[in-house]
Amino acid sequence: MLEALINMALLMACGVVWRVSRPAQLDVDQVRRALTGLVYYVLLPALILKVLWRAPLDITASRVALCAGIGVLSGILLSGWTCRFAKFPGPLAGAVILASAFPNATYLGLPVLETVFGSTGRSVAIQYDLFACTPLVLTVGMLIAQQYGNAGNSVSIARGVTRVPALWAAVIAVAMNLSGAPLPRLMAQALNMMSGAVAPLMLIVLGLSLRWESLSREFAKPIALVAVVQLFIMPAIVWGVSGSLGLAGSFRLATILEAAMPSMVLGLVICDRYGLDTNFYGAAVTATTIISFASLPIWFALI
């Protein structure tokens, strides 16, 4: 685990160095958006096709998704209740709830689990995200953002779902898997080439997304809340649920580690769109990502 995290940190450091040095005077946010678009629209769907077309879709996949759903919903309820008790203003409370409940299952979880567990970790990361986290983000997450935000945007759940290439790739891959259709050799080779770039590019983008300037004392209490819920309480809940559901071995360990990932980067886009506290959310992503490099080895050692 420690060796895997060191490798992850080196790739993230490339993004951090790029953000600071700005080689060729390229705008950092434009570079980040370009790399994110490439991964989001092309490379990640290719990886999903490759994995889900061949992955065993059995009761284990359902258990992974159920664990993920329970973990996310528990994070929403716990952080929402705490925000109400602490009387956080609406935009801050909405950002806290999103940062507490939705883990960075793809941008960090996928490369970490793939490095540690190989194909099993890759399958768990994709199932955890696409079968639970992404649908919940596009439904419950958007409704939370609308309720607490200042932008006044309405939520079109159906429109949001149809605009996610990864979900379309998952639908196609699952259909091909269940029908027993073989993956053509030339297509498999192309998918292998494209999917190989997903993990390193995701980690570089994560480094580019860290907002060091947003870390400040005024965010200390809400960041502490996010870190406790996201990095410690949620994985503890998933640990208990996964045992009750019968998950075992590397599947259970990978699922628990996925629940222990830091806050998702996609939340920055949601906060911008719905008028939540984007500065806080950037600070929460940065802080939880840094803390996770200590908390993830602890979870790995415990379980």
Mean pLDDT of the chain: 88
- Reported confidence tier of residue 100, pLDDT bands at 50, 70, 90: very high
Does 258 score more than 90 pLDDT? yes
Q: What gap in Å lies between CA 80 and CA 100, rounded to an integer?
A: 9
Q: What gap in Å lies between CA 4 and CA 230, rounded to an integer?
A: 21
Does 216 score more than 80 pLDDT? no
Does 265 score more than 90 pLDDT? no
Q: For the domain bounded by 30-194+216-302, which CATH number is listed?
A: 1.20.1530
Q: By C-alpha distance, which of 164, 205, 159, 196 is closest to 51?
A: 196
Question: CA torsion angle for 291, 202, 30, 209 (degrees, to 10)?
Answer: -10
- Of 25-29, 74-78, 219-223, 296-300, which range is least confident? 25-29
Say which DSSP state 297 is in: H
Higher per-residue confidence, 212 vs 22: 22
* Average pLDDT rounded to a whole number, residues 220-226: 94
Q: What gap in Å lies between CA 209 and CA 211, rounded to an integer?
A: 6
* Average pLDDT rounded to a whole number, residues 84-97: 93
Residues 44, 173: contact at Cβ < 8 Å? Answer: no
> What is the tens place of the pLDDT at every residue in 132-155?
998 898 889 989 998 998 865 555
* Average pLDDT rounded to a whole number, residues 111-130: 90
Higher per-residue confidence, 59 vs 25: 59
> Tokens representing 184?
């053509």
The pLDDT value given to residue 159: 63
The pLDDT value given to residue 268: 82
Q: By C-alpha distance, which of 46, 40, 15, 41 is closest to 189?
A: 46
| pTM recorded for the entire structure | 0.85
